Amino acid sequence: MTENKKLNIGLIGFGVVGEGIYNVLQQTPTLNATIKKICIKHASKKRNAPQELFTTNVESLLDDDSINVIVELIDDADAAYKIVTTALRNKKHVVSANKKMIAAHLQELLMLQKENEVSLLYEAAVCGSIPVIRNLEEYYDNDLLNSFSGIVNGSTNFILTKMKEEGLSYENALKQAQQLGFAESNPALDVEGKDAVNKLTIVLQHAYGITTKPETIVHKGITQLHRSDTKYAAEKNYNIKLVANARRIDDDKIVAFVLPTFVESKNQLYHIRNEFNGVLIGSKLADEQFLYGKGAGRYPTSSAVLSDIAALRYDYKYEYKKTKSNAHKYQLSNDFLLKIFVSFNQDAEINVSFFDSIEDRYFNKNRNHLVGFISLNNLQKADWFNDETVSVIAFDGDDNKISTNTFLHETILN
């Protein structure tokens, strides 16, 4: 595609984001991008766009030679997989926001782009409006990243904020996140940490060139958080946030996990409220950097989709430079000691032999807790880790140095 070539778009999905992108493109004629057809599931629904644009036949878009870009904005990951892979095979460029589908099939999607010499862009899949992927891909290419730590799910951050600041119940806060269009249509993906781990999987590809599957990454969401955890956090002046982490622990090892985390007020993530997302980058030379913006919702997500569409005009594609490069071959490792807080009911059995050391034990007729160091390897193995009555919260303090720079910063500067 040459610069400013006309983009003829087949839009698939007309939900929160699909309709948003339709509206935005109507208002951005300079982009030289036209929506030729829109594929929807239910023909009978009333839509805010001319009737003749709509079809329920997805093949009529995928087989249409005049369409050179498919913008896929549906939330069914299996259907999205079929659409995106067919579109790439049919030599169409694709823009997608489907993090679940992308995280599950990264390896194949990389291959299909290469084989068919087309581009698949998905900036909206990670942190909504914040340009995270292009940043990791381009800006940090020559600057080794020490760490990525971020609030990457807007719904859980919205729920945690509303519970803390307005005393809303978990159920009511979740309902609001759904009504505002932040939550996935299956909100379990948000609250169980699956959405965050899908996003972290994509981050690992662009930050470190690691192709992995979401299920290999240690993760836990916010469903098991107990009111005593909130009380503990308030006493210590922590905010509980769901944090996705990737950090370099060695020349060739990366540790990655998603856990509810006690965040201290000196950490930027502490101050991120509602559906906002934020990412702290620990960089070898630049030290700490912070990216902040809306992570969910119609127009923030449309903004990232629009940026991808615009990038296609000048042939932009992710080069996956770190995946191809031989300079640094990183591997995931769970060989990392983490300081955690575990709270549990009287009758729960917590086998403490998984811990390396225990710093604090608190037993009370309502709820017990332990604070100690455990390796991620052991945490993953511990039977109580997936028990829904047991809370596991990481500490984001100097003990873990999750968001601070690692040894490399010092080594380089000394």
Please choose, from the candidates 258, 7, 256, 275, the residue with its C-alpha nearest in 3D space to the C-alpha of residue 158: 275
296 is a site residue for ligand HSE (CB under 6 A):
yes
The one catalytic residue among 194, 199, 294, 339: 199
From residue 69 to residue 108, the character string flagging contacts with ligand HSE as x (rule: CB under 6 A) and all else as - is ----------------------------------------
Query: CA-to-CA distance for 33 and 6, rounded, in angstroms?
Result: 6
From residue 192 to residue 221, the character string flagging contacts with ligand HSE as x (rule: CB under 6 A) and all else as - is ---x--------------------------
- Candidates 72, 123, 190, 192: give the one binding ligand HSE (CB under 6 A): 190
* Contact predicate 56/39, CB 8 Å: yes
Q: Using only C-alpha atoms, what is the Rg of the chain?
A: 22
The residue range among 71-79, 177-185, 256-264, 365-373 that interacts with ligand HSE, by the rule CB under 6 A, is 177-185
Both tokens of 30, joined, read: 């300079």
- Candidates 10, 13, 150, 154: give the one binding ligand HSE (CB under 6 A): 154
The verdict on whether 37 is a catalytic residue reads no
Buried b / exposed e across 156-171, counting CB within 10 Å, b at 16+?
bbbbbbbbbeeebebe
184 is a site residue for ligand HSE (CB under 6 A):
yes
295 is a site residue for ligand HSE (CB under 6 A):
yes
CB atoms within 10 A of CB 65: 9
Min separation Cβ 338 and ligand HSE, Å: 24
- Candidates 182, 336, 341, 354: give the one binding ligand HSE (CB under 6 A): 182
- Candidates 153, 176, 283, 302: give the one binding ligand HSE (CB under 6 A): 153
Number of H helices, E strands in the chain: 15, 17
- Candidates 128, 150, 282, 293: give the one binding ligand HSE (CB under 6 A): 128
* Contact predicate 278/292, CB 8 Å: yes
Cα dihedral angle (395, 396, 397, 401), rounded to 10 degrees?
A: 120
Coil vs helix vs strand at 212: coil
- Candidates 101, 130, 151, 183: give the one binding ligand HSE (CB under 6 A): 183
Pick 17 or 350: Cβ nearer ligand HSE? 17
Site size toward ligand HSE (CB under 6 A) is 11
Min separation Cβ 374 and ligand HSE, Å: 28
Query: CA-to-CA distance for 117 and 88, rounded, in angstroms?
Result: 9
Pick 121 or 296: Cβ nearer ligand HSE? 296
| Residue 354 Cα distances to 293, 330, 336, 339, 385, angstroms | 38, 27, 13, 13, 11
Min separation Cβ 184 and ligand HSE, Å: 5
Instruction: Kindly give, in sequence order, each residue whose CB lies less than 8 Å from that of residue 193, ignoring residues fewer than 6 positions away.
Output: 153, 156, 219, 220, 221, 222, 242, 258, 259
Q: Footprint of ligand HSE on residues 232-291 (CB under 6 A)?
A: none
The contact set with ligand HSE (CB under 6 A) reads 128, 153-155, 182-184, 190, 195, 295-296
Looking at the annotation, which residues are catalytic? Answer: 199
